[in-house]
Structure 1
Amino acid sequence: MSVVAIFGGRSEIGLEIAARLSAGNVVVLASRPGGERPEVAGAERVLHVDFDADDVAEHGAAVGAIEAETGPIDIAVLTFGVLGNQKLAEADSAEVVRIVHTDFTAQASLLTVLANRMRGRGAGTLVAFSSVAGQRVRRPNYVYGSAKAGLDGFASGMADALHGSGVDLVIARPGFVIGRMTEGMSPAPFSSTPDQVAAAVVKRIREGGPVEVWIPWQLRVLCFVARFVPRAIWRRMPR
């Protein structure tokens, strides 16, 4: 029996991943206080935990409390995040700080707490969610994109630091995901659904493979080509 912890336990992708990993396991759904408490079919036990990702000072205590209740976390998936308001961010630095804090600082903090615990045990799997938006940051969403770029770099370096430790860090790089977070926005080329993202991530967890998981795989080629697009053209690219 494994302990699967989803940090961002009400996110669509997180719940899809939990459903795929639930059979016979303990599933921890860690999310902000209040709101719905989703069920996860097939789990041996589902534990709902109040967790404020932005309160980085409490990350260590939060993880410690979970493990005191369930035992060591075997698989930890970080699915919390905000898209933010780009227009507002360009006029208000507080919105910039809010986006970067949740999408980079809080992620890096929690990954560090979890990695240190898993490295001490010599086992565990971590999943961090980057984005193609961070591969070459675009004008229409440069605040969100830059936060994801920072997280991608951090997670890439951490994956190398963890090599040989028994801890597996997976970096998921989905493109546009059709769901609550992007409601009202026109889907971009090679969009995916939470179900498709979860399927790709769980396949990688179970079967192993490269650190990076591109969802869908075609985005890897597109992002490679994007590096060579002249800036004069790139700055006019849509979201």
Structure 2
Amino acid sequence: MKDAFGIPQSLLILGGTSEIALATARRLIVRRTRTVWLAGRPSPALERAAEQLREMGADARTVPFDALDSESHETVLGKVFAEGDIDMVLLAFGVLGNQAQDEKEPLKAVRVAQTNYTGAVSAGLVCARALQTQGHGSLVVLSSVAGERARRSNFIYGSSKAGLDAFAQGLGDALHGTGVHVMVVRPGFVRTKMTAGLPQAPLATTPEAVATAVETGLRRRSETVWAPGSLRLVMSALRHVPRPVFRRLPI
């Protein structure tokens, strides 16, 4: 169960090598989290991440998980929940893709959509049902400001995140009153390995800053978290820019 401040004692990360997710895990372990499941494709990086969390004092375990293999989600994730209650699930997997290449090779665009959206729908529903069955817990979904309004420069990635964001909000409404808390996190440009080499956008942030925002959101039982918080106003304005003007913006 969560402590009196809303900090989970057990955490399941879907996307176990995500830098944002691992920064969040480290922050929560310092607070009180003791058991961490890292779900991801088997790799040395996944095992290294688990070992680093063990060095911090957590009981960190790995579980094979593939976002694209939706047929396995119920079995794989069911085994995790069978080990005991999970206080928080952090849905953190996703791919950025390469807009220029993906436009030319539709199958690559489809892979972005399947990973970021359909894989998340499958895993999210499986975890939501398990959390509802145990009667408590938080499902935290890493969305993106890119989903707020599709931009020419990354509309494939942005549209997949828009779908994820809408799904998570609807799921939160559906679970209201069940004891399950759904929180959507909308980071801006985060300096990670995934974004290395890309032009840095205004209001860029770090995995550690997003992790801080996640913890604050958990304590407040927020439904939506922006990282950084100033993006809420920026994106609110951007959503209302007339389309002819929006098309001319260098974004």
TM > 0.5 between the two? yes
Q: Using the alignment, how far apart are the partners of 1:179 and 1:231 within structure 2?
A: 31
Q: How many residues align?
A: 237
Aligned with residue 71 of structure 2, among 12, 32, 57:
57
Contact 2:38–2:62 (Cα < 8 Å) also in 1: yes
Contact 2:81–2:130 (Cα < 8 Å) also in 1: no
Q: Using the alignment, how far apart are the partners of 2:186 and 2:220 within structure 1?
A: 16
Q: Does 1:10 align with 2:17?
A: yes
Q: Using the alignment, how far apart are the partners of 1:127 and 1:169 within structure 2?
A: 6
Return structure 1 stretches of 4+ with deviation > 4 angstroms.
none
Contact 2:11–2:33 (Cα < 8 Å) also in 1: no
TM-score, length-normalised on structure 2? 0.90
How far apart are 1:110 and its partner, in Å? 0.7
Q: Does 1:91 align with 2:99?
A: no
Gaps of 5+ in 1: none
Q: Using the alignment, how far apart are the partners of 2:70 and 2:181 within structure 1?
A: 23
Gaps of 5+ in 2: 2-8
How far apart are 1:102 and its partner, in Å? 0.5
Aligned counterpart, 1:238 = 250
Identity of aligned residues (%): 43
TM-score, length-normalised on structure 1? 0.95
Tell me how large the CA RMSD over aligned residues is: 1.3
How far apart are 1:24 and its partner, in Å? 5.1
Task: Map 1:39-188 onto structure 2 (within 5 A).
Answer: 39-40=52-53, 41-68=55-82, 70-188=83-201
Aligned with residue 43 of structure 2, among 28, 34, 43:
34
How far apart are 1:34 and its partner, in Å? 1.8
Q: Deviations over 1:56-96 (max 9, x none)?
A: 1111111112223x312211101110000111121111011
Q: Using the alignment, how far apart are the partners of 2:224 and 2:236 within structure 1?
A: 14
SS of 1:54's equivalent in the other structure is coil
Q: Deviations over 1:24-57 (max 9, x none)?
A: 5111111111222112143441101121111111
Aligned with residue 26 of structure 2, among 19, 22, 35:
19
The amino acid across from 1:10 in the alignment is: T
Q: Using the alignment, how far apart are the partners of 2:250 and 2:171 within structure 1?
A: 32
Q: Using the alignment, how far apart are the partners of 1:165 and 1:16 within structure 2?
A: 29
